[in-house]
Structure 1
Amino acid sequence: MAGSDGKPDIQAALAALKESFGNKIPAKIEAIRQSWEKLTATPADSETFKLLHRQTHTLSGTAATYGFDEVGRLAKALEITLQDELTEEPSQWSSAAIDKFETLLTRLEQPDQESSVEKESDMTSLQKPVQETVTAATEETESRSASKLIYLVDDDADFLSTMSMQIETFGYDVAEFTDLTAFSKAVAEQEPSLVIMDVEFDGGPKAGIEYIARINKERDVPLRTIFITGSSGLLTRLDAVRANGLAYYAKPVLVEKLVDAIDRLTHQSVEEPYKIVIVDDAPEQSAFAALTLQQAGMETREVNEPLKLLALLAEFPPDLILMDIYMPECNGLELSRVIRQMDAFVSTPIVFLSSEHDQRKQLGAMSLGGDDFLTKPVQPWHLVSAVTSRVKRGRMIRKLAETDGLTGLLNHSKSKERLEAELARAKREQSHLSFAMLDIDFFKKVNDNYGHPAGDRVLKSLANMFKQRLRQYDVVGRYGGEEFVVILPNTDAATAKLIMDKMRESFSKIDHFSEDGNFTCNFSCGIASYPDFDTGRGLNDEADKALYEAKEGGRNRVIVAKGC
């Protein structure tokens, strides 16, 4: 079902689902009646009791979700009566409890109840909060600007020239200005991604801050600005903050720290859509949750037969599993325990979505592997918000486990995992893949001569350069120490050599600062490519051999492994 723009019309789909469910309500009530009559005829039939409980539980949650409030309320009353007053032990049944269930069921069967009256707010007024959540998530993950244009403003021409060259090695375009008038004219003609502004000019000790403050008063969106100065006093810093300064550095400025700030303020990669698996034996309920989450930009898969979940997890590893508790064949509690025994999903968030209101049972469910419990009916905006917060937290934890703490690149084990994944993709798509292994030359001397903090800054500089200069889908990892790897999908060996040579040349131009003087570094690199080598281990070993050859051949060079 598509709208005028060709995209799926989710509101229309939700309305269609509601109409379809409404048409099925009489049949669902009739099924409850049949199970009740069978149970009263054979009270010891525990399977019929479980079926009846599941039928009332499912109807109460799904009916309320779609806005059939009276149906949901009566079905919930039936479910509670079964749980609290009838139970699975027939000897404990009282005639009052049996009469109560019969009375509730008869009321549910009455066709003139107001449950079929559609409230205007059911499907339409809920769209706004969901859309607000979608918009907020989109704004958060979209890159603020496709441009890498930086305006560098300082009346010291020598500083401008040196700093501009350093920043450009990380893939940014830098325009230099020695006076504020020329800078103002340039902003009017083309807006930069970021402004790096000196605080002091001929006009006064805070002329740069004051100028930015005046410009921002006339703008709807303030210029993103980093202030640099020879002063680190609190009052100057306060003025910089009030002028919308986003970072503040005292001279001499470490280019590594400055580029870290530039990266953070100008480059926000778009997150992959959240991947959600919904497990619910009621197709109407899972479809509603799926459409609600899709409206928020998430990818979903539905499982209506719980025993098929593991097969789906293998092909669609999710960021979160949304699961009902009461289902046939196995319940959600049992299923969560199975999932938690699998290494690949031991930390995947599991959120129970059920009409179970008993807090003791909710807490019990969470103690068996659940991370959260949402009670049906759940408002769409609440569902989106709860799923989003859990996925964000889960991704953050996973990132900490998969990345190197110093550089933010993938760690050794995750790099190897990604190599296998990218190699499998290259084989499926019959495309090229190159794997580069590189090592900073004489890195031990850097640590010995300039100290480990300077060595750490060198490692971060190389990592930042790769992040800025390579494509978004290229993979960069730190193998350990001063050794890095780069995975280049859809790239043959000759192209990979050109890319890595450019990276090597750019890295050699970075001026690294230390208290004992400035210095530069180089790296050596070995490359192996698929299909010349068709296993992950083969690519790794041959790239390592090529790296060794580059080292033995004089360093500061790139060598490509020759295929068999």
Structure 2
Amino acid sequence: MAEKIDSLQEKLRALEAVFIQKLPSKIAEITQTLQQIVERPDNKDAMVVMHRHLHTMAGSAGTFGFAEIGNQARAFEAILKPHLEGAPWTNEELQAYSQEVNSYFDYALKYDTKPVNGVADSVQEEEKDVGTPQLIYLVDQDEAQNQEITVQLEHFGYEVVRMNHLGTLATAVARRRPHVIVIELSFPEGKVAGAEEIGRIKQIERFRIPTVFVSHSNSFDSRLLAVRSSGDGYFTKPVDVVALTERIEAILQNHEDQGFRVLIIDDDAVTSKFYGAVLRDAGMNVYLLNDPTQILTVMTDFRPEIVLMDVYMPVCSGVELSRIIRQDNSYVDVPIVFLSSESDMSKQLDAVKAGADDFITKPVSPEYLKSSISSRAERYRSLRALIMRDGLTGLYNHTAIKEQLASEISQAGRNGAPLALAMIDLDNFKMINDTYGHPAGDQVLRTLARLLRQRLRRSDIVGRYGGEEFAVIFPDTTASVAARVLDQVRVAFAKIQQHSEGGGHFAVSFSGGVADLEASLDADELFDVADAAMYASKQKGRNCISQA
């Protein structure tokens, strides 16, 4: 790049761009080597090369945010390993393995490589991809219900694989590990065959797969059996698919890495790299800053959940730097921890008075450092969620989404990048509450919130602006691209069958408006422009997207 990359986000985007650019050739190396093995199953050299390619892919894909590709490469590597060690292939095994590998990587290239906006104008205008869908295995003999559940889950962006027989589940799990299994508790093979099969898979699988049981029975004994089989959810038939989706989302969120954002400020590059490596090993996102004069820019771009700094630095002291941070109302609650060899209690007290939350004396064991930082970051995240999140949907609330937009506009201005804002309003929402009741209305709000989170990129920011109105910030995206993406979400949402307490089903639509920085560089004005575009959609007859 011609411009100097001066923020972590830009560096990550640049690295991700390089990974995406090279991904097709890396996959081609895997599939070409696999073809050599298919032609000569005893080709040990080809298997060694294949194993190396898969091992490299397993490590690199997750690093750049493509966890599903990394996990699947690791699964393919595990299947290959016994044959690399001498176990012969049967023709059926090799053909099945070849088909699985080729099918998956064809799928990954189509769905898990999204354009990196900002590289070229032509790239910005491409449709925005949302990554590989999360995989659900649906195991039940009730084909009619399987079809209904599949259609609904696919509207939410999941990939669903249906199975009618228990015998196919273990083989499928070995070849491609799902994110969640939804399974009938009882099968004709035995009274509790579904639970027994999950128990057997759990014994042979290194990682437990989240499982949701469904059953015609609502008895205590059935529910207890599901609990003893490590079930993460239990639904009686006919299954409320919206409620099932809520449970699946909650399960997947609980299994995500914490990924606390930690900013380390120290003029000693070697020491900061050491502590950064310790915290990264614990799954945290770490930004190393050796120049304290860049603190305000980094605080804005990286948005740390905890700051770890030394007391003594050449440009200014840690105490002075903490006071600079505390001068900004946006950062008064961000935890600041001093990490220093200073043992003078009076100087430690001065640091705390300046706004620090803790003082850790060097040397410190890696385990203590990880525990101390993660506990403080967790408390900060929890408190921020109470302050910034809407209680019903879990999205950013009105105040928080406005703050996020102002911050994103500032960053887009520094980077010369596009940014779009969408306003969304549910159609005829008062009538839904009056007809089906407020609990059904709340369910509709949660459903739309969940669909937006699943269908959009991780970098897109979603908030509940108020009532039945939502806002979405699309970084690095023009209004035309954002409008097309939002229209796809609109179509999917309108197909979802909502459930009322009386057992009825109904569908809901929404109207939206999109604007970008071409309309205004002021956050409040941009909200007004996008809101006006949304009302234009209402005037057109609702259930459409308008661009300012």
Which band: TM-score by shorter chain?
Answer: 0.5 to 0.7
Q: Is the 8 A contact 1:438 1:547 kept in 2?
A: yes
Relative to structure 1, the CA distance from residue 496 to residue 321 in structure 2 (aligned partners, 3 Å threshold; closer, same or farther) is closer
| Residue of structure 2 equivalent to 1:301 | 289
Quick one: distance in 2 between partners of 1:525 and 1:327?
51
1:163 aligns with 2:146: no
Larger radius of gyration: 1
Q: Is the 8 A contact 2:424 2:512 kept in 1?
A: yes
Quick one: distance in 1 between partners of 2:428 and 2:144?
30
Q: Is the 8 A contact 2:261 2:303 kept in 1?
A: no
Relative to structure 1, the CA distance from residue 199 to residue 541 in structure 2 (aligned partners, 3 Å threshold; closer, same or farther) is same
The secondary structure found in structure 2 opposite 1:555 is coil
Could you tell me the percent identity over the aligned residues? 41
More moved, 543-552 vs 270-279: 270-279
What is the deviation of 1:400? 2.9
What is the deviation of 1:188? 4.9
Consecutive unaligned residues of structure 2, counting only runs of 5 or more, are 1-58, 72-131, 281-285
What is the deviation of 1:460? 0.9
| Residue of structure 1 equivalent to 2:539 | 552
Q: Is the 8 A contact 1:293 1:384 kept in 2?
A: no
Relative to structure 1, the CA distance from residue 353 to residue 218 in structure 2 (aligned partners, 3 Å threshold; closer, same or farther) is closer
1:538 aligns with 2:490: no
What is the deviation of 1:328? 9.4
| Residue of structure 1 equivalent to 2:357 | 371
Q: Is the 8 A contact 2:301 2:411 kept in 1?
A: no
Quick one: distance in 2 between partners of 1:434 and 1:152?
37
- Which AA in structure 2 matches 1:300? L
- 1:11-70 deviation digits (Å, cap 9, x = unpaired): xxxxxxxxxxxxxxxxxxxxxxxxxxxxxxxxxxxxxxxxxxxxxxxxxxxxxxxxxxxx
Quick one: distance in 2 between partners of 1:330 and 1:425?
26
Relative to structure 1, the CA distance from residue 142 to residue 397 in structure 2 (aligned partners, 3 Å threshold; closer, same or farther) is farther
Relative to structure 1, the CA distance from residue 371 to residue 473 in structure 2 (aligned partners, 3 Å threshold; closer, same or farther) is same
- 1:245-304 deviation digits (Å, cap 9, x = unpaired): 22223334332332122223346666666332436xxx55x7524532245332122467
Relative to structure 1, the CA distance from residue 231 to residue 375 in structure 2 (aligned partners, 3 Å threshold; closer, same or farther) is same
1:240 to 222, 226, 237: 226
Q: Is the 8 A contact 1:407 1:459 kept in 2?
A: yes
Q: TM-score when scaled to structure 1?
A: 0.65
Relative to structure 1, the CA distance from residue 533 to residue 340 in structure 2 (aligned partners, 3 Å threshold; closer, same or farther) is closer
Relative to structure 1, the CA distance from residue 147 to residue 495 in structure 2 (aligned partners, 3 Å threshold; closer, same or farther) is closer
Relative to structure 1, the CA distance from residue 160 to residue 221 in structure 2 (aligned partners, 3 Å threshold; closer, same or farther) is same
- Which AA in structure 2 matches 1:550? S
| Residue of structure 2 equivalent to 1:524 | 511
More moved, 502-511 vs 195-204: 195-204
- Which AA in structure 1 matches 2:289? R
More moved, 378-387 vs 539-548: 378-387
- Which AA in structure 1 matches 2:476? N
Q: Is the 8 A contact 1:277 1:322 kept in 2?
A: yes
1:407 to 376, 390, 393: 393
Consecutive unaligned residues of structure 1, counting only runs of 5 or more, are 1-134
Q: Is the 8 A contact 1:222 1:244 kept in 2?
A: no
Quick one: distance in 2 between partners of 1:360 and 1:472?
45
2:275 to 285, 292, 300: 292
Mapping for residues 427-438 of structure 1, pairs under 5 Å = 427-438=413-424
- 1:139-187 deviation digits (Å, cap 9, x = unpaired): 9x99575652211122222211111111111001112223323445544
Quick one: distance in 2 between partners of 1:388 and 1:336?
20
Q: Is the 8 A contact 1:148 1:173 kept in 2?
A: yes
Relative to structure 1, the CA distance from residue 340 to residue 189 in structure 2 (aligned partners, 3 Å threshold; closer, same or farther) is closer
Quick one: distance in 2 between partners of 1:184 and 1:313?
47
1:509 to 471, 475, 495: 495
Mapping for residues 193-272 of structure 1, pairs under 5 Å = 193-266=179-252
Count the aligned residue pairs. 418
Q: Is the 8 A contact 2:272 2:288 kept in 1?
A: no
